[in-house]
């Protein structure tokens, strides 16, 4: 099933899993021992189904199965199964934009992978853990970072592909792309683009699409378009959406970006949905200001419950439809300064500060300073 997902065919994988699941459930029903092999097969198929649903972009059913599988593994004291379902919960949380939740589950999976000497589980969980630090713009603790050098310890080239990574790619590249700065970030972005191209040459069109999508989100949509240009067919709900998103970003097509964000919200992919909505609002600001305000209100709603860090929020803020002076005053207000302090700092009148903030609130579709702090400070926590 995993190979089909890496090739970009999660729907085909899910169909295969359904057939196998029916047979496994029938065998498990006739097996009195809940720890018997038939029940173990059911758990394995359930786990593969979660990852296939994640690749298909279907957060809600993936979360439900992962949660049930994890709870059952804990109840039975099945440590290795618990670790794998924790890794699955990390994947679903990451896709939903709940990065801190993903970190918690990845930490559990990593620990259990080490305790049970499962290199694949340890590596998958470590990659998710590193990614969580990158998304939140935080340095990875020394307990995590030294465990994954540029070549993965204990994981050979065939296992790299089994993990969803083209041969030769280090597990830390995505963290560096999202959380790095300057030359490190640029080099990691180049490596991520190279990973997409390498995956494509191996026929892993799902991986190639996912990596190219991240390249676009990191600000290089034109390069992402080139990476996606010659890929083979993919299925599911998320993979086919990425070329549409990238084309809309390159072309400045606000309406298509907004439609893609609506679809992502339906799927539960809230982090990307909120960012695309803000991007669409910025494109609409000059020609359709009322539509831009409507989109900003939708973006703020979608961002509720999404856990973003400073690096991610900086990208989010750059797409806010504000003029330079409005952005400057908004950031000062969000930092905790009063209107009087802002006026003194910028050598302008308090009334001018108030007028600018009024326009900021109107453009962003928010009601006051508390909402502004939520938008400009990270991480955004659930209400």
Over residues 259-264, mean pLDDT: 96
| Structural domains in the chain (count) | 1
Residue 219 lies in a domain: yes
Dist. CA 36–CA 41, nearest whole Å? 9
Q: Which of 85, 75, 11 is nearest to 43 (CA)?
A: 85
Q: What's the mean per-residue pLDDT of the chain? A: 82
- For residue range 190-202, list pLDDT tens digits in order: 999 998 998 899 8
Give me the phi and psi of 44, to 5 degrees please.
Answer: -65, -40
Residue 280 lies in a domain: no
Rounded alpha-carbon distances, angstroms, from residue 20 to 50, 69, 371: 14, 17, 49
In this prediction, residue 21 carries a pLDDT of 60
Give me the phi and psi of 307, to 5 degrees please.
Answer: -100, 105
Evaluate if pTM is beyond 0.75. yes
Dist. CA 316–CA 338, nearest whole Å? 24
In this prediction, residue 382 carries a pLDDT of 33
Residue 215 lies in a domain: yes
In this prediction, residue 132 carries a pLDDT of 87
pLDDT over 90 for what percent of the chain? 42
In this prediction, residue 43 carries a pLDDT of 74
Lowest model confidence (mean pLDDT) among 74-88, 124-138, 343-357:
124-138
In this prediction, residue 22 carries a pLDDT of 52
What range defines the domain where residue 211 resides?
A: 172-232
In this prediction, residue 321 carries a pLDDT of 76
Handedness of CA 220, 2, 122, 198 (dihedral sign): negative
In this prediction, residue 355 carries a pLDDT of 95
Q: Which of 30, 94, 31 is nearest to 59 (CA)?
A: 94
Of 35 and 15, which is predicted with more confidence?
15
Does pLDDT of 7 surpass 80?
yes
Does pLDDT of 330 surpass 60?
yes
Residue 43 lies in a domain: no
Residue 209 lies in a domain: yes
In this prediction, residue 239 carries a pLDDT of 96
Q: Which residues pair with 307 in a beta bridge?
A: 98
Does pLDDT of 147 surpass 50?
no
Dist. CA 216–CA 250, nearest whole Å? 9
Q: Which of 278, 281, 226, 275 is nearest to 250 (CA)?
A: 226
Residue 192 lies in a domain: yes
Of 189 and 32, which is predicted with more confidence?
189
Does pLDDT of 312 surpass 60?
no
Residue 49 lies in a domain: no
Does pLDDT of 255 surpass 80?
yes
Handedness of CA 246, 323, 179, 97 (dihedral sign): negative
Does pLDDT of 9 surpass 90?
yes
Highest mean pLDDT of the ranges 14-18, 75-79, 222-226, 296-300: 222-226
Of 23 and 241, which is predicted with more confidence?
241
In this prediction, residue 294 carries a pLDDT of 85
Residue 227 lies in a domain: yes
């Amino acid at each position: 099933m995993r190979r089909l997902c890496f090739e970009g065919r999660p729907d085909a994988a899910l169909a295969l899993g359904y057939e196998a699941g029916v047979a496994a459930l029938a065998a498990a029903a006739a097996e009195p021992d809940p720890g018997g092999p038939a029940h173990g097969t059911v758990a394995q198929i359930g786990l593969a189904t979660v990852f296939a649903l994640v690749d298909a972009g279907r957060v809600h059913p993936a979360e439900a199965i992962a949660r049930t599988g994890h709870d059952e593994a804990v109840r039975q004291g099945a440590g290795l199964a618990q670790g794998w379902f924790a890794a699955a919960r990390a994947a679903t949380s990451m896709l939903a934009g709940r990065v801190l939740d993903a970190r918690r589950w990845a930490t559990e999976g990593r620990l259990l992978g080490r305790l049970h000497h499962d290199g694949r589980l340890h590596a998958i969980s470590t990659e998710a853990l590193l990614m969580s630090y990158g998304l939140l713009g935080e340095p990875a603790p020394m307990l995590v970072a030294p465990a994954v050098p540029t070549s993965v310890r204990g994981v050979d080239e065939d296992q790299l592909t089994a993990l969803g990574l083209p041969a030769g790619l280090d597990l830390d590249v995505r963290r560096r792309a999202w959380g790095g700065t300057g030359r490190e970030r640029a080099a990691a972005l180049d490596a991520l683009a190279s990973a997409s191209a390498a995956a494509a040459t191996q026929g892993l069109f799902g991986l190639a699409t996912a990596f190219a999508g991240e390249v676009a989100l990191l600000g290089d949509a034109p390069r992402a378009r080139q990476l996606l240009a010659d890929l083979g067919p993919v299925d599911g709900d998320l993979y086919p959406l990425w070329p549409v998103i990238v084309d809309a970003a390159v072309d400045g097509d606000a309406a298509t970006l907004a439609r893609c964000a609506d679809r992502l919200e339906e799927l539960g992919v809230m982090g990307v949905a909120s960012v695309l909505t803000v991007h669409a609002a910025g494109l609409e600001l000059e020609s359709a200001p009322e539509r831009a305000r409507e989109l900003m209100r939708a973006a703020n709603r979608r961002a509720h419950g999404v856990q973003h860090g400073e690096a991610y929020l900086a990208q989010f803020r750059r797409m806010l439809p504000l003029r330079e002076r409005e952005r400057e005053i908004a950031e000062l207000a969000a930092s905790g300064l009063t209107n009087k302090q802002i006026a003194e700092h910028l050598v302008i009148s308090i009334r001018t500060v108030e007028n600018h903030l009024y326009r900021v609130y109107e453009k962003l579709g928010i009601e006051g300073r508390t909402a502004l702090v939520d938008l400009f400070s990270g991480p955004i926590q659930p209400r």
